[in-house]
């Protein structure tokens, strides 16, 4: 039996197959990247999820997406016990997004806790 996430992965490519303009193509590509990475992560397949966010195209309007990607990568690397990469992503996220919009402050707080956890595991 195919579950909801499996069906999403199967049909995702066709759902974003016919965008018309440049911005629609860009948006469809970003949406597909986010959805695939998150589906793999929800299934605990972090090794499959990581490349989607490690290889994001950076461009105009993707600052928020990149912040979300770095935040997620710090968690996913921690989940697979790659503590050096997890710590590097935490440090980068905290340096870069320390002055983020207040509605995303919980990401900062959670990343600080994650960093402390990782340092304890490394020692």
DSSP 103: G
| Residues 87, 78: Cα–Cα separation, whole Å | 8
User: Can you give the pTM of this predicted structure?
Assistant: 0.77
Sequence-separated (6 or more) residues with CB below 8 Å from residue 12? 32, 35, 36
Domains and CATH numbers, the chain: 4-122 (1.25.40.10)
For the stretch 26-42, pLDDT in tens is 556 677 888 889 999 99
For the stretch 72-113, pLDDT in tens is 999 999 999 999 999 999 999 999 888 877 888 899 999 999
């Amino acid at each position: 039996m195919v579950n909801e996430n499996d069906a999403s992965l199967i049909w995702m490519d066709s759902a974003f197959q016919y965008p018309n303009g440049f911005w629609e193509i860009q948006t469809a590509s970003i949406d597909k990247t986010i959805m695939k990475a998150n589906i793999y992560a929800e299934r605990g397949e972090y090794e499959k999820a990581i490349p989607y966010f490690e290889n994001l195209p950076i461009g105009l309007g993707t600052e928020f997406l990149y912040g979300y990607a770095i935040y997620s990568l710090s968690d996913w690397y921690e989940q697979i016990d790659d503590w050096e990469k997890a710590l590097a992503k935490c440090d980068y996220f905290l340096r870069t997004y320390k002055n983020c919009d207040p509605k995303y402050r919980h990401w900062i707080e959670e990343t600080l806790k994650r960093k402390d956890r990782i340092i304890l595991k490394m020692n």
